């Protein structure tokens, strides 16, 4: 793979990782209605474990030392307190001449995880004495802690021509992190050196760009006019040098690079212009938005999203059908935010409705999500048509959209689709049918569509072909159809499901489905089941969602406050070495504290 291909791949991966933003996606109302706030588990201090691990660190067995150090690090990451007491023992393993490399590495990592800054001097000495792997582990931590003794070492590596590439990159990154400005001129020289490897040059350019806000424009201009096989690397280095610059000369260079034939360069230049001022990107949008590369199109879209007008909104709406999933989702979420401004709402609704009317599935999916989130009722008829889409993305998004829109005119179409899908799933049950029908049941529940009750009741009996999501949604919706109305026949059906603990085969009802049965009984105020729900609640654990549902239902039925749940101890996993529990009652306080 060429150097240019490597750079382009890195930029693309960074772009994709940056797309994981808040996005509009189908959710289930029943997951948050009612909303339960489970109590967090109580952290177990595990003092006996800590003492045992510290003792084991002093033993000669290599694996015991290594695993004890690893356990201390994991325990600290899980929030178990006072692991810092292990620092002296870890330092002994770290510095002892006789320590095995694996044990020394584990001890160093544990000290870093514990953020033992008092150990920085010992960590520094060990990193320089015992090999490259420890350097790779320790030096980034020393940079984070801004440890002074390491700085001269980094500066010396930059000046030495035969430094190993891995260690030179460590030095450059460390200098960048601690902002050691005395290294700036050396970093510039490395960046401009065509005989250095691309990886080293790019790292040096990034570090120099971080250290200086002005003064690197001449070097950047020199790089963008350089020719040869590494011309793309030159231009990438120029961009990194200007990462914090915003002078007129900088803007001229960035504008030139924004139309570069190499997409990764054009995208990076546009991104920097967007950071400085999105108005600088506007003259470039028309060309960038037609680029074959999603990175470039995204930067054009961001400029329009930051500086919307009615014409720009219509252009953005076309990107709801973009081939790149991250871009179309980002535009969808962005248009939703802009729609909060009254002057743009009608334009967004009109442009999105136009995309919805077309026959391209990507645009159908995103426009259904956007119009659903905006609760645009006039879209219901077209959205109901899309329930028949062959694409799972569209048939799920359209069902969710109808739930969000909640227009009573859509009820007949919804019920008809539920009936047909109920028949179809008896032959070919699929995940998309399960999700679509669940959204449609939620829509009926939200609109209190009494005419859907026969279909909902069909999903109460235990039948795996009906799907977990669909059955839960049907029962949840029945609760809304009978709020304050303790329908006896329905109550008997639901309590029968709650009490189904049949051994395998057939399987008993899932606790998730039982939970929704309990919730609906609570909404119905089926008081005759209150005593049954009250049983053993004082022993229920704080992580038990089923018990929380019973508490909630009991409150709805009787108005009483049920007993608080028993707080769980945090489950911290199984450890390689555990203390032997004391003899006697395992429920005593001391023995309970020994449970991982």
Q: What CATH number does residue 87 fall under?
A: 1.25.10
The pLDDT assigned to 595 comes to: 32
Helices (H), 86-145: 87-95, 101-113, 120-129, 132-144
Q: Is residue 65 part of a domain?
A: yes
Among 272, 287, 302, where does a domain finish? 302
Question: 110 lies in which domain range?
Answer: 44-115
Show the low-confidence residues of the chain (pLDDT under 70): 1-21, 43-45, 504-506, 569-573, 581-596
pLDDT of residue 6: 43
Nearest CA-CA partner of 291 in 281, 306, 277: 281
Q: Which pLDDT does position 241 carry in this prediction?
A: 98
What pLDDT is attached to residue 596?
A: 30
Of 270, 287, 302, which residue is a domain's last?
Answer: 302
Tell me, what DSSP letter sits at residue 88?
A: H
Asked if residue 25 belongs to a domain, the reply is no
Number of domains in the chain: 2
H-type alpha helices, 447-564: 453-457, 468-481, 488-498, 511-524, 530-534, 545-558
Structure tokens at 222: 């020199």
Residue 165 forms part of a structural domain: no
Residue 92 inside a domain? The answer is yes
Contact 369, 24 (CB under 8 A): yes
Q: Which two tokens stand for residue 487?
A: 């329908």
Domain presence at residue 283? yes
The Cα 521–Cα 530 span in angstroms is 10
Tell which of 79, 96, 115 closes a domain: 115
Phi, psi values for residue 569, rounded to 5°: -80, 140
Q: From the centroid of its chain, how far is CA 303?
A: 25
Residue 373 CB neighbour total at 10 angstroms: 18
Q: Tell me how far apart the terminal alpha carbons of the chain are, to the nearest angstrom.
A: 48
The answer to whether residue 434 sits within a structural domain is no
Asked whether residue 450 is domain-assigned, the answer is: no
Does residue 243 lie within any of the structural domains? no
């Amino acid at each position: 793979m060429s150097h240019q291909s490597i750079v382009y791949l890195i930029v693309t991966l960074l772009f994709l990782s940056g797309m994981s933003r808040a996005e509009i996606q189908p959710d289930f109302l029943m997951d948050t209605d009612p909303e339960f706030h489970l109590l967090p588990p109580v952290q177990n201090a595990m003092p006996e474990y800590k003492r045992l691990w510290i003792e084991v660190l002093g033993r000669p067995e290599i694996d015991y030392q290594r695993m004890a150090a690893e356990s201390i690090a994991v325990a600290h990451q899980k929030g178990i307190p006072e692991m810092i007491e292990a620092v002296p023992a870890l330092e002994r393993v770290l510095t002892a001449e006789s320590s095995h490399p694996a044990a020394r590495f584990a001890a160093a990592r544990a000290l870093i995880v514990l953020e033992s800054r008092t150990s920085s001097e010992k960590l520094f000495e060990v990193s320089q004495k015992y090999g490259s792997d420890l350097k790779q582990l320790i030096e980034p931590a020393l940079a984070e802690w801004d440890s002074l003794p390491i700085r001269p070492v980094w500066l010396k590596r930059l000046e030495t021509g035969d430094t190993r590439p891995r260690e030179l990159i460590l030095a450059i990154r460390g200098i960048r992190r601690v902002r050691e400005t005395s290294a700036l001129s050396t970093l510039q020289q490395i960046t401009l050196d065509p005989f250095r490897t691309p990886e080293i040059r790019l790292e040096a350019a990034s570090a120099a760009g971080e250290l200086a806000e002005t003064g690197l424009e001449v070097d950047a201009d020199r790089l963008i006019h350089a020719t040869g096989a590494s011309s793309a690397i030159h231009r990438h280095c120029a961009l990194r040098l200007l990462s914090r610059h915003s002078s007129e000369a900088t803007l001229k260079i960035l504008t030139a690079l924004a139309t570069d034939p190499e997409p990764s360069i054009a995208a990076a230049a546009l991104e920097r212009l967007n950071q400085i001022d999105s108005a600088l990107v506007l003259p470039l949008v028309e060309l960038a938005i037609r680029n074959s590369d999603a990175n470039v199109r995204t930067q054009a879209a961001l400029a329009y999203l930051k500086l919307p007008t009615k014409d720009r909104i219509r252009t953005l709406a076309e990107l709801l059908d973009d081939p790149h999933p991250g871009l179309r989702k980002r535009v969808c979420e962005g248009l939703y935010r802009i729609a909060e401004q009254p002057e743009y709402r009608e334009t967004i609704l009109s442009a999105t409705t136009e995309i919805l009317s077309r026959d391209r599935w990507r645009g159908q999916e995103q426009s259904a999500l956007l119009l659903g989130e905006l609760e645009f009722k006039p879209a219901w008829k077209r959205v109901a048509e899309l329930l028949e889409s062959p694409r799972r993305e569209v048939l799920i998004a359209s069902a969710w959209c109808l739930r969000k829109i909640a227009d009573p005119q859509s009820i007949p179409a919804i019920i008809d689709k539920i009936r047909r899908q109920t028949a179809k799933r008896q032959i070919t049950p699929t995940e998309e049918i399960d999700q679509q029908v669940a959204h449609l049941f939620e829509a009926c529940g939200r609109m209190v569509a009494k005419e859907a009750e026969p279909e909902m009741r069909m999903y109460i009996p235990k039948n795996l072909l009906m799907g977990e999501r669909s059955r839960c949604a049907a029962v949840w919706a029945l609760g809304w159809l009978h709020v304050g109305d303790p329908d006896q026949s329905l109550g008997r059906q639901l309590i029968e499901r709650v009490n189904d603990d049949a051994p395998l085969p057939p399987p008993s009802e899932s606790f998730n489905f039982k939970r929704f049965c309990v919730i609906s009984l609570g909404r119905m105020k089926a008081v005759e089941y209150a005593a049954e729900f009250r049983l053993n609640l004082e022993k229920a654990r704080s992580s038990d969602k089923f018990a929380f549902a019973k508490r909630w239902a009991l409150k709805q039925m009787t108005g009483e406050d049920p007993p608080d749940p028993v707080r769980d101890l945090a489950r911290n996993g199984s450890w390689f070495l555990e203390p032997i529990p004391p003899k006697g009652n395992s429920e005593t306080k001391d023995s309970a504290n020994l449970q991982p």
